[in-house]
Structure 1
């Protein structure tokens, strides 16, 4: 395993170089920053941490440079060769005793916890607010779940036509994210919401962890809540549509045929029969809102007569004619 390559540094890198590179890579590959690809992030985060641990510890780095990873982890270190320009971290004690060069020495490889390293480098960014350290699964070593920011709800205004026919809406989410160097910056993302026919006011659509990124906190979920725009003609009541209608007295008495414009652009011809009085409700089955969970079915259309317009005046002859007809 090439620890230098893992951290993207040269073999002559200083501790400052190594720390700087670790910060950038840890910000990219920390498991909590990769919820959709956690397994790969977990593996890479551990490798980055292991490389940092070895290359910033003088003894570990010396053994690794001289003998490689296998010897470093084996616990048995062979005699150190004389100093070579390619191994700047070789101890000068290697040639102090011929007897020491003729025998193996014991060494206990004790790797550090990746999240202890992360906490050491990033300070409070690697801790919960109660000070407990996180594990790679987002659960602190104390056993409490990692805290998540409260969900954020945003209204999504939809016309009744949108909710009747269904539509795709593209929305922009703006949030604060953390760069690889630890700086915050705004980020915009376009998301698509597929509005299904028949969805009601209060329907919620959640985009997981699309909220602002904050150190030590799981980003909030962004939830869009359907709200209905007022309609010029229709009122929605559950799955039913209600339309208020005015009529003349003649129409109320003569079986008027009403022409009703529908939400999908049709012209619905509805004939009223009998004598119509104010408050009368005519029901047209299966012409209301679609049932989102029962494709092909709809609620009812209810035509409510709210007013009957009487003539403002009648001629003597009209009065006589009406009296003859209605008596």
Structure 2
């Protein structure tokens, strides 16, 4: 089926959250199996469940609006993803009744039947309390470049308000575990669904979202999957050649011969010594060495003469 979720809910793309809820409420009641036995109503009811599941979720809706059904169900192309956090494929759970129950709070909000068990018109329906979810709570997850290179597990204690069946609130703590994968980048988002505060009996606990923030490193600057190293050399070395010893991020000392004349725009690229690629940690970016040339502060007349003679 080539779905158009907006057409399914009979709304346009400018519809806001309240419009989406209103459209689903009316159509789900109309096409619910307990409401009608018309041919095709079961399929339409299932389509409504999937459309609402996507358009009521800001992240799914944003993915669908930008990349269409192919991007939503097939996964966002790697060049648009942020460390893979948005690249997971969407699949509807296939239970429109579950979507209906979650929306209305019960499985049959119009349980008014005649003696022959034929559903009557929806007259005098009792108001249904619709639970809403608070906006996600975002927290920074500070990681060193070494942790992003090797991967690690971070344990984070959170405190949150929870409510029991009687509506009484209490504060409880919980340990969240985050498995950091090698190659994660700045801005990678890790979502813990419904682990935030529950602020009222009719509210759904907010999601907690951790956002990767990379700490500065004393030797390397990261650019994508590459690592940049800055090395100081003398003017003599720049002109006559030399070898430079560089300590890699995983602790190895490598000797790199430089036989070229080093100028201000010169860069030495060492393949495969950068960060691991998130999609394939066995592959790595490059190490790129930039050189700062230290010029002498003063030169005697004799030295200037010798330099001029050597450079002719």
TM-score (norm 2): 0.56
2: CA distance between counterparts of 1:133 and 1:273?
A: 74
Equivalent residue runs for 1:264-303 within 5 Å: 264-303=250-289
* TM-fit CA distance, 1:192: 1.2
* TM-fit CA distance, 1:279: 2.1
1:240 pairs with 2:243: no
Change beyond 3 A, Cα 1:253–1:166: same
**SS of aligned partner of 2:204:** coil
Preserved contact between residue 133 and residue 142 of structure 1 (Cα < 8 Å)? no
1: CA distance between counterparts of 2:298 and 2:289?
A: 28
Change beyond 3 A, Cα 1:216–1:164: same
Residue of structure 1 equivalent to 2:71? none
Preserved contact between residue 236 and residue 242 of structure 1 (Cα < 8 Å)? yes
Residue of structure 1 equivalent to 2:156? 171
Q: Which runs of 5+ in 2 are unaligned?
A: 1-101, 110-124
Which protein is bigger by CA-based radius of gyration? 1
1: CA distance between counterparts of 2:166 and 2:127?
A: 29
Change beyond 3 A, Cα 1:145–1:177: closer
* CA offset digits 1:117-149 (Å, max 9, x no partner): xxxxxxxxxxx9xxx9622699x9868963112
- RMSD, aligned CA: 2.8
Preserved contact between residue 242 and residue 259 of structure 2 (Cα < 8 Å)? yes
Residue of structure 2 equivalent to 1:111? none
Residue of structure 2 equivalent to 1:227? 213
Q: Which runs of 5+ in 1 are unaligned?
A: 1-127
Residue of structure 2 equivalent to 1:159? 144
Equivalent residue runs for 1:31-50 within 5 Å: none
Preserved contact between residue 104 and residue 129 of structure 2 (Cα < 8 Å)? no
Preserved contact between residue 104 and residue 128 of structure 2 (Cα < 8 Å)? no
Preserved contact between residue 135 and residue 141 of structure 1 (Cα < 8 Å)? no
Partner residue of 2:132 out of 123, 136, 147: 147
Equivalent residue runs for 1:69-218 within 5 Å: 134-135=105-106, 146-179=131-164, 182-213=167-198, 214-218=200-204
**SS of aligned partner of 2:132:** coil
* CA offset digits 1:218-272 (Å, max 9, x no partner): 1111111111112222211111111222211111122221111222122222221
* TM-fit CA distance, 1:320: 5.1
* TM-fit CA distance, 1:297: 0.4
User: Could you say which structure has the higher helix fraction?
Assistant: 1
Preserved contact between residue 203 and residue 225 of structure 1 (Cα < 8 Å)? yes
**SS of aligned partner of 2:197:** coil
**SS of aligned partner of 1:299:** coil
2: CA distance between counterparts of 1:231 and 1:242?
A: 11
2: CA distance between counterparts of 1:282 and 1:207?
A: 42
Equivalent residue runs for 1:254-265 within 5 Å: 254-265=240-251
Change beyond 3 A, Cα 1:185–1:137: farther
Residue of structure 2 equivalent to 1:249? 235
TM-score (norm 1): 0.54
**SS of aligned partner of 1:171:** strand
1: CA distance between counterparts of 2:108 and 2:269?
A: 57
* CA offset digits 1:182-214 (Å, max 9, x no partner): 432211111111111100111111111101123
| Matched length | 195
**SS of aligned partner of 1:154:** strand
